[in-house]
């Protein structure tokens, strides 16, 4: 069961590893990221940050989509974390059971617009989000689980 997909440029860190995982009741975190999947040092670092008793899986975007659609992840209470809106868009567009996306942290980049304390979006990312919303996907901004949801 997919509990939530979160966009956070830091991927796995304290808020994700502990606050979100505990609040959601997740027993597995899926980091879907092409760069990390091919970087043994980053994978080892992320494994050190995971909460005890929670499984951590790191896959590239294509492999994550395949695993999510195959049913192999159905036995887990799954929390998916991606680095970018583009990665979230690719996954949500190809995995129909995802109906909620949390924007937690997107760093400023050239050409991005600040829309909240921790969210900076490029114009093409805003278009992707609007398209997801038009498909019935809830997209919300919330840094911590106890924060109020803010909708775009």
Q: Could you state, in chain order, the average pLDDT of each consecutive group of 10 residues for the chain (152 residues)?
A: 96 86 96 96 92 95 98 96 98 96 96 95 97 96 92 83
pLDDT of residue 18: 87
pLDDT of residue 17: 81
User: By residue range, what is the domain housing residue 49?
Assistant: 2-151
Give just the sign of the alpha carbon dihedral 129, 132, 133, 138.
negative
Task: List strand residue ranges (DSSP E) for 9-118, in order.
Answer: 28-32, 55-59, 78-82, 100-105, 113-114
Q: How many domains does the chain contain in total?
A: 1
Active site residue ranges:
13
| Strand ranges (E), the chain | 2-8, 28-32, 55-59, 78-82, 100-105, 113-114, 120-121, 138-141, 150-151
Give residue 152's pLDDT. 77
CATH code at position 18? 3.40.35.10
28-63 tens-digit pLDDT: 999 999 999 999 999 999 998 899 999 999 999 999
Q: How much is the pLDDT for 103?
A: 97
Q: What pLDDT was estimated at residue 16?
A: 78
């Amino acid at each position: 069961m997919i509990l939530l997909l979160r966009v956070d440029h830091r991927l796995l860190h304290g808020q994700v590893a502990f606050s979100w995982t505990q609040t959601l009741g997740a027993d597995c975190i899926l980091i879907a990221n092409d760069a990390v999947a091919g970087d043994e040092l980053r994978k080892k670092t992320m494994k050190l940050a995971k909460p005890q008793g929670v499984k951590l899986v790191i896959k590239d975007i294509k492999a994550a989509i395949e695993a999510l659609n195959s049913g192999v992840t159905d036995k887990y209470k799954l929390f998916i974390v991606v680095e970018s809106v583009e990665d979230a868009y690719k996954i949500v567009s190809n995995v129909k059971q995802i109906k909620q996306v949390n924007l937690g942290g997107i760093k400023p980049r050239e050409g991005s617009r600040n829309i909240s304390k921790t969210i900076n979006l490029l114009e093409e990312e805003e278009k992707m989000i609007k398209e997801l919303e038009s498909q019935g996907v809830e997209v919300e901004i919330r840094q911590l689980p106890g924060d109020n949801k803010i909708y775009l």
